[in-house]
Amino acid sequence: MSSPRWWQDLHLLWLEFWLPLPLLGVLFWLGGNLTIDRVLSRPYTTASKLQADTEREVQLPVTVLLIKAEIKKSEGLTKVEIKTADPMLKKLEFELPITQFEQVEASLAQKLGLSREDVRKLARYQLKE
């Protein structure tokens, strides 16, 4: 028994190979979508949670060259500019809500990790009413 004419034409053009390819492509596409959908719909748990609402204090070892404090009594604050020897961090600026010399010295000593005597030696004050 001979095969039909259209089957022989398909065989000559290699269409029996090419015709199933779109069907295989659709099957791979559907299978991939189902796999991706199952993987992405899984619950995701983490071992540790990110805490974005906490503030961290960073301690940088710097050599302080000069502390310039401008006390503004009328505004109730002190603007502090600190010059350092570090080429990457040349200047630090603070605003402190205090105007008393002793409190400014104590606060700067605590923030910079220096003694109060070292702060007294390096500090230059300017009073503004």
Q: Return the pLDDT at 114.
A: 87
Give one DSSP letter per residue of 49-83, joined into a string: ----S---PPP----EEEEEEEEETTTTEEEEEEE
Chain segment 35-59, per-residue pLDDT in tens: 999 988 888 776 676 667 677 766 6
Is residue 105 within 8 A of residue 121, CB to CB? The reply is no
User: Residue 52 falls within a domain, yes or no?
Assistant: no
Range of the domain at 97: 64-128
Higher pLDDT, 73 or 55: 73
Is 123 part of any domain?
yes
Structure tokens at 76: 């109730």
CATH number at residue 120: 3.30.160
pTM for the full predicted model: 0.53
Q: What's the alpha-carbon Rg for the chain, to the nearest Å?
A: 38
Distance between CA 2 and CA 49 in Å, rounded? Answer: 72
Query: pLDDT averaged over the chain?
Result: 84
Mean pLDDT of 113-128: 89
Dihedral sign computed on CA atoms, order 53, 57, 58, 63: positive
Question: 83 and 124: one domain?
Answer: yes
Please state the domain count of the chain. Answer: 2
